[in-house]
Amino acid sequence: MAKLKLCVFISGRGSNLQSLIEACADDGYPAQIALVISNKAGIQGLERAKAAGIQTYVINIKDFNSPNSFDISMIEAIKSFNVDLICLAGYMRILSDNFVDHWHDRIVNIHPSLLPSFRGLDVQQRAIDAGVRFSGCTVHYVRRDMDTGPIILQAVVPVLNNDNAYTLTERILIQEHRIYPLAIKLIAQGRTTIKNERVLIDGATHPDSILINPEV
């Protein structure tokens, strides 16, 4: 069975990219990274891709006369690699409506909160400031509005009394590295179905325990 071909979009150090690289290194994993695209040159994520022998492109909107020409350039680059799925992994640029529509149900993102709560930036500090007892991360299909779309997987971590944005971010990141490769695996295996903007996962089971934070 042919492996699902991925294009990963990055803008920074590429830690989630690295988790996908490591997952794809397993012969039994049903996906492979065909291309990595960045909107910034000289970042660590590009070095990670090059070290893994993955083709990279830097496509910066500043180099184009219009957003439309930028979109066309990205679409053509992706098409030339026969990509099946686009994975946003810390890509810090909002995709145009035309691009999202063109790749409808073929773009996924990982976000460091339990969506739909805390969309956007600075989410860990906002979660702490709001006094929530749990935070986490979400893998979801991408829609036009930022950080929206059918949710595939979520992982939950407790917010601790002594947490700051850094400590909470690092604890969530561990879970990001677990659930992003798992979500891609489920898609590649054909186990995800979107029905009424909700993701149904074939053969999925659910936790049978309840978490309470703090425990008193």
- Which residues are tagged catalytic? 111
Q: Between the CA of residue 15 and those of 10, 168, 175, 186, 207, what are the distances in Å?
A: 10, 16, 12, 20, 27
Q: Which residues, 6 or more positions from 79, have their beta carbon under 8 angstroms from its beta carbon? A: none
Question: What is the 8-class DSSP label of residue 113?
Answer: S
- The residue among 101, 89, 85, 102 whose CA lies nearest residue 192 is 85
User: Residue 135: phi, psi to the nearest 5?
Assistant: -135, -165
Contact status, residue 199 vs residue 192, Cβ threshold 8 Å: yes
Tokens of 180: 């992003």
Q: Which amino acid is at 100?
A: V
